[in-house]
Structure 1
Amino acid sequence: MLRSSSGIRKARKEKDSLTFASASLDGTIKIWNISSPAPNFTLDGHLKGVNCVEYFTGGDEPKLLSGSDDFSAKVWDSQSKSCLQTLEGHSHNVTSVCAHPELPIIITGSEDGTIRIWHATTYRLDNTLNYGLGRVWAVGYKKGSNQVVFGCDNGTIMVNMNST
């Protein structure tokens, strides 16, 4: 974890690299190299604090997902340092983001209790799930399968994405 003057947030490492991203309550995402004490660059586009970041590969280009207290998630091109798409629709803070490694989906979880499934190429909303378990805090997946797990205030649920 990294500590900043605006809060503490998780850092995620880019695959096969010495580069990682950190999320901050000041609304920024910083991209770092493990060998340097200063960030390589800053992504600025959220209106409120950033809660989560996750690298993924979309096509051939490395991308970054972020979720924020501005009720949105963003897809960033980590090469051009630009926002490719803003994923809107949650009615509360976005607390988790995930790109499934085998399925062409992006998953966002929120304090509104919903999980949104987005197409990883078109960024269109495919489905909204609500299991009645309260705020969604974590999203994970089982490699080599279509199973996704959600951690919520009132429990955890694993679902097969083919049946949602």
Structure 2
Amino acid sequence: MPAQTVASRAVPPRPDMSVILVTGSYDHEIRFWEAWSGICSRTIARGGESGQVNRLAISPDKRFLAAAIHKKVNIYDIANPSSQPIITFEGHTGNITSVCFHSEGKWLVTGSEDGTIKIWDLRSTNVHRNYDNEAPVNDVIVHPNQGELISCDQAGRLKQWDLSENICTHELTPAGDTPMRSISLASDGSCLVAGNVKGKCFVWKINEERSDLPRFQAVTKFQAHGKYLTRLLLSPDVKYLATCSADTTVKVWSLSPKYEFKLEKVLTGHQRWVWDCAFSADSAYLVTASSDHTARLWEMASGETVRQYSGHHKAAVCCALHDGAG
């Protein structure tokens, strides 16, 4: 997402159709937005279907949108204006809390309050793999090596799942049984950050080279928020960490080569809980979704709101942004 001057913000440039910005809400709607104009260009209204939209993910090639809707995942063709999904994955018995694509877009991973992690093949509607986590799953991410998953759960655990061996190979419990809410892994696989419901963040350096050292080496921990932490995310360039909270703020932390975190900015403007966030590919912008029914686009350099996206009738709880190369 290219940087914009102050003057150019007054007259938004022609919408860049290569930028895909999507939000989901408890109002059962999924909205696509023109990032710079703030105009809603498309709405997927789900009518009488039960269950809110919990999480969103855009495939790496920008062809598909995965929407976690209560106990199922709908896959939409982004280029097709139809509101009907092209695939629906069903099999979870509890609320789906996490969804993300494999780097080549061939499969999808989901985590759920039913205590399972499932891998779905996009060429079929069947579950490809199923892992029993034994506790409600709050977040799941795919390792950059595409051969491992890392999850966090309501029992306070982080787990690493080896896809080749089909087993859990590592388990961490950084704060006892305090639920771990969100995790983020550096794009280069160098470090892992996790946040719990009490607003505390934990950081590990990941050892990929030396067998004589533990895979996860605890580096630091810090109190990010005084209230419930909802989501955290490392920027693509691994220079910043964004943390979202029930305290209505988003905090931006700078990351040093020694994995030390310094508070750089507090993004204020949302009126209620901030539930989700997504960075632009160049790490210069951040999108957030809030219970105040809006999403916002923030400029990282200034900490100011560039655009506000208004249209949802209930809490906006998830967002997805893809402005990189397809």
TM-score by length of 1: 0.80
- Mapped to 2, the partners of 1:87 and 1:119 lie a distance apart of 10
Does the 8 Å CA contact 2:56/2:67 hold for their aligned counterparts?
A: yes
Pair 1:19–1:101, CA change in 2 (3 A): same
Amino acid paired to 1:18: V
Runs of 5+ unmatched residues, structure 1: 1-15
State the shift of 1:85 in Å. Answer: 1.1
Question: Is the partner of 1:90 in helix, strand or coil?
Answer: coil
Q: Deviations over 1:126-160 (max 9, x none)?
A: 1221122x111111122134111111112111112
Number of the residue aligned with 1:119: 121
Number of the residue aligned with 2:163: 161
State the shift of 1:101 in Å. Answer: 0.7
State the shift of 1:17 in Å. Answer: 3.3
Which has the bigger relative contact order, CA under 8 A and spacing at least 6?
2
- Mapped to 2, the partners of 1:120 and 1:162 lie a distance apart of 19
Does the 8 Å CA contact 2:102/2:146 hold for their aligned counterparts?
A: no
1:110 corresponds, among 109, 112, 121, to 112
Amino acid paired to 2:90: E
Does the 8 Å CA contact 1:31/1:42 hold for their aligned counterparts?
A: yes
Does the 8 Å CA contact 2:59/2:105 hold for their aligned counterparts?
A: no
Counting aligned pairs with the same residue, the percent is 24
2:57 corresponds, among 39, 45, 54, to 54
Question: Is the partner of 1:162 in helix, strand or coil?
Answer: coil
Larger Rg: 2
Amino acid paired to 2:73: A
State the shift of 1:103 in Å. Answer: 7.1
What is the Cα-based RMSD across aligned positions, in Å? 1.9
Number of the residue aligned with 2:75: 75
Q: Deviations over 1:65-109 (max 9, x none)?
A: 01122x111111111134111111111111111111147321111
Number of the residue aligned with 2:266: none
State the shift of 1:61 in Å. Answer: 6.2
Does the 8 Å CA contact 1:103/1:146 hold for their aligned counterparts?
A: no
Q: Deviations over 1:6-48 (max 9, x none)?
A: xxxxxxxxxx932211110111111112112231111133532
Runs of 4+ in 1 over 6 A off after TM superposition: none
The number of equivalent residue pairs is: 145
Runs of 5+ unmatched residues, structure 2: 1-16, 167-326
Does the 8 Å CA contact 1:61/1:77 hold for their aligned counterparts?
A: no
- Mapped to 1, the partners of 2:118 and 2:126 lie a distance apart of 10
- Mapped to 2, the partners of 1:100 and 1:90 lie a distance apart of 19
- Mapped to 2, the partners of 1:138 and 1:17 lie a distance apart of 28
Number of the residue aligned with 1:66: 67
- Mapped to 2, the partners of 1:17 and 1:80 lie a distance apart of 15
Pair 1:61–1:102, CA change in 2 (3 A): closer
Matches within 5 A, 1:1-164: 17-45=18-46, 46-57=49-60, 62-69=63-70, 71-81=71-81, 82-102=84-104, 104-132=106-134, 134-154=135-155, 155-164=157-166
Question: Is the partner of 2:66 in helix, strand or coil?
Answer: strand
- Mapped to 1, the partners of 2:28 and 2:144 lie a distance apart of 31
